[in-house]
């Protein structure tokens, strides 16, 4: 068992926990059957420790997992220690995103061109999906997923969340003025939460900062008390998958980029006033 926290360890742990619940077993049941401690099973499921391939195989047998699913999860256990990996396919990408956000104690989301997914209203999200020619069924799934992701912000002991949104995203939405006014209203509501900061990056600053390179999220994971500082992870969404980075040198570059971008954003109060002004403009346009 490796005491290493990588993005894929979080995803593997989340899937193992779902499988255990599906067969109605408790962590104590699993620990007894595998002759492991309850703490070990708990840490595996939370992505705090990485189970060996043998332990993973034993759990999959216990949960009745066979065939392609069995092979996929075993491969994930083999590869989970890789600090940089790409998740192809929408289902696994969404699962990995949710697992990472649930495990985070701080999330900084840089979005120059769009409202961050965690902050999107249903109508805004559907407009984005429409521009990507996503099927209605898939769009419904993605919209529901965004609501689940946003619930992380209002749970008990929520993460600190910082959304850095480019002025372009606020002024040139993919939806009509009525839907965008509702979207801006949600941003104002989220900004009232004590753990949430909504910051606007002006046009001029966006083009002269690291944000010009595109969107990304910097997440600091929750770790055991023995490692209170957390382990940073970077996630980059793209059309066909998600790139996750935890290599220290790579992540350090993104941490530096976040510090630079934060120096160029409007203040929280200035951002709120700017968003409120745009909301009124959108409401007038929709009359």
Specify the CATH number for the domain of residue 44. Answer: 1.10.260.40
Highest mean pLDDT out of 35-49, 124-138, 144-158, 188-202: 188-202
Please determine, for residue 60, whether its predicted confidence score (pLDDT) is greater than 60: yes
Regarding predicted confidence, which is higher, 202 or 220?
A: 202
Residue 93 has pLDDT above 70, yes or no: no
* Domain shared by 114 and 201, yes or no: yes
- Which two tokens mark 162? 């910082």
pLDDT of 2: 37
**Alpha helix (H) ranges present in 103-162?**
122-131, 136-151
- Asked which of 82, 112, 128 is the last residue of a domain, the reply is 82
* Residue 235 and residue 219 share a domain: yes
For the ranges 51-55, 56-60, 235-239, the lowest mean pLDDT is seen at 235-239
Q: How many structural domains are present in the chain? A: 2
d(CA 70, CA 143): 29
The proportion of the chain whose per-residue pLDDT surpasses 90, expressed as a percent, equals 46
pLDDT band at 266 (very low <50, low <70, confident <90, very high): very high
pLDDT: is 236 or 57 the higher one? 57
pLDDT of amino acid 168: 95
Is there a single domain that holds both residue 165 and residue 33? no
Average pLDDT, the chain: 84
User: Does 238 lie in the same domain as 124?
Assistant: yes
Whether residue 127 sits in one domain with residue 213: yes
Instruction: Give the pair of three-digit tokens for residue 29.
Output: 């049941």
Higher model confidence: residue 112 or residue 131? Answer: 112
Q: Identify the domain boundary among 26, 60, 82.
A: 82
CATH code, domain carrying 152: 3.30.870
What pLDDT is attached to residue 3?
A: 39
Crossing angle for the helix pair 38-45 and 7-22, nearest 10 degrees?
120
Instruction: Give me the pLDDT at residue 228, please.
Output: 43
The answer, yes or no, to whether residue 103 has pLDDT greater than 60, is: yes
Using CB atoms within 10 Å of the CB of residue 22, give its burial: 0 to 12 exposed, 13 to 18 middle, 19+ buried: exposed
Both 55 and 13 in one domain: the answer is: yes
Grade residue 224 by pLDDT with cuts at 50, 70 and 90.
very low
Contacts of 111 (CB under 8 A, 6+ apart): 163, 164, 165, 166, 169, 215
Mark whether 170 and 215 lie in a shared domain: yes
Give the C-alpha distances (Å, rounded to integers) separating 178 from 124, 189, 222, 277, 281.
10, 17, 39, 15, 10
Mean pLDDT, range 143-161, rounded to an integer: 86
Q: What mean pLDDT comes out for the span 233-241?
A: 72
Which pLDDT score is estimated for 1?
A: 37
DSSP character at residue 24 = T
The first and second tokens of residue 77, run together, are 């256990």
- Provide the 3-class DSSP secondary structure of residue 89: coil
Tokens describing residue 285: 């346009």
Of 82, 101, 121, the residue at which a domain comes to its end is 82
The pLDDT score that the predictor gives to residue 95 is 63
Least confident span in 8-12, 181-185, 255-259: 8-12
In this prediction, residue 171 has a pLDDT band, given cuts at 50, 70 and 90, of very high
Are 73 and 16 in the same domain?
yes
* Domain of 116, in residue numbers: 85-286
Same domain as 129, residue 14: no
Same domain membership, residue 148 and residue 58: no
Query: In terms of domains, do 62 and 155 share one?
Result: no
pLDDT given for residue 72 in this prediction: 83
The pLDDT value recorded for residue 96 is 65
Which span out of 40-44, 155-159, 160-164 was modeled with the highest average pLDDT? 160-164
**Residue range 91-120: mean pLDDT, rounded:** 82
């Amino acid at each position: 068992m490796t005491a290493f926290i990588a993005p894929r360890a979080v995803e593997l742990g989340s899937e193992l926990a779902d499988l255990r619940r599906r067969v109605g077993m408790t962590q104590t049941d699993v620990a007894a059957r595998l002759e492991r401690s309850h703490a070990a099973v708990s840490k595996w499921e939370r992505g705090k420790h990485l189970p060996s391939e043998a332990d993973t195989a034993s759990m999959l047998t216990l949960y009745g997992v066979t065939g392609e699913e069995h092979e996929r999860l075993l491969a994930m256990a083999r590869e989970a220690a890789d600090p940089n990996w790409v998740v192809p396919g929408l289902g696994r990408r969404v699962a990995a995103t949710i697992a990472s956000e649930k495990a985070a104690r701080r999330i900084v989301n840089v979005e120059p061109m769009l409202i961050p997914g965690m902050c999107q209203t249903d109508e805004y999200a559907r407009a984005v999906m429409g521009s990507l020619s996503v099927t209605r069924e898939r769009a419904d799934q993605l919209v529901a997923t965004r609501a689940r992701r946003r619930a992380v912000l209002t749970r008990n002991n929520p993460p600190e969340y910082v959304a850095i949104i480019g002025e372009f995203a606020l002024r040139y939405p993919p939806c009509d003025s009525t839907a965008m006014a509702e979207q801006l209203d949600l941003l104002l509501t989220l900004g009232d939460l004590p753990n949430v900061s909504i910051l606007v990056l002006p046009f001029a600053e966006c083009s002269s900062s690291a944000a010009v390179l595109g969107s990304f999220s910097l997440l600091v994971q929750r770790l055991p008390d023995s490692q209170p500082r957390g382990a940073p992870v970077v996630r980059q969404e793209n059309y066909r998958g998600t790139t996750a980075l935890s290599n220290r040198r790579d992540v350090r570059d993104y941490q530096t980029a976040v510090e630079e971008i934060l120096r160029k954003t409007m203040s929280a109060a200035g951002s709120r006033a700017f968003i409120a002004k745009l909301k009124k403009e959108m409401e007038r346009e929709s009359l």
